[in-house]
Amino acid sequence: MISSKKIYLANLMLALLPNCAGREFKARLLRWAGVKVGRDVEIFQGVKVQGIGELELGDRCFIGHEALFMLNTGSRIVVEEEAIVGTRCTVVTGFHPITPGGPRILGREGTHSTVRIGRGSAVLTGSTVLPSVTVGEMSIVAAGATVAKDVAPYTLVGGCPAKVIRSLAENIIRNS
């Protein structure tokens, strides 16, 4: 579980540390704050973790500039080994229910979920992954996409909301 006070300090440090240095220090800093960080993880400048939940970064994954992980209490984000979360991507684990009969349109109580970014997959620049979504292994989320539904393994998706562009499984068969 992430400590709110420690992650606040870790976020400040991550904003200041340059990209090219301190890979292991950045990983240790996040571990200290309660994030599970695998081996040889690349964490670029300005990465931010907000909220209290569980964040797990698998071995050799890549987290780009200013990537944002938003965790609600009880939520979990898993970035599996070799996965890429690109520059300025946002991964969100919860939302507020629509309450037209209440004092405001969005309820105060938030929800929580698990978001999974599969082994070897790539969520490219400026994309958003919404609550309860699984991005299947070796899939690509095109730049700027908003992913609201699960992405099958070996699939390229793009757009807002993200739709299947094509299967990548054909490339495996051709290259075998």
What gap in Å lies between CA 164 and CA 124, rounded to an integer?
A: 15
What gap in Å lies between CA 162 and CA 150, rounded to an integer?
A: 10
Which domains does the chain carry? Answer: 4-175 (2.160.10.10)
For 67-113, the pLDDT digits (tens) are: 999 998 899 999 999 999 999 999 999 988 888 888 888 877 888 89
Residue 20, pLDDT above cutoff 80: no
Report the chain's mean pLDDT, rounded to a whole number: 92
pLDDT band at 174 (very low <50, low <70, confident <90, very high): low
Residue with more model confidence, 110 or 63:
63
pLDDT band at 24 (very low <50, low <70, confident <90, very high): confident
Sheet strand arrangement including 122-123: 42-43, 62-63, 84-85, 122-123, 140-141, 155-158, 163-167
pLDDT band at 173 (very low <50, low <70, confident <90, very high): low
Q: Please name which of 100, 126, 127, 96 lies closest in space to residue 111, comparing C-alpha atoms.
A: 96
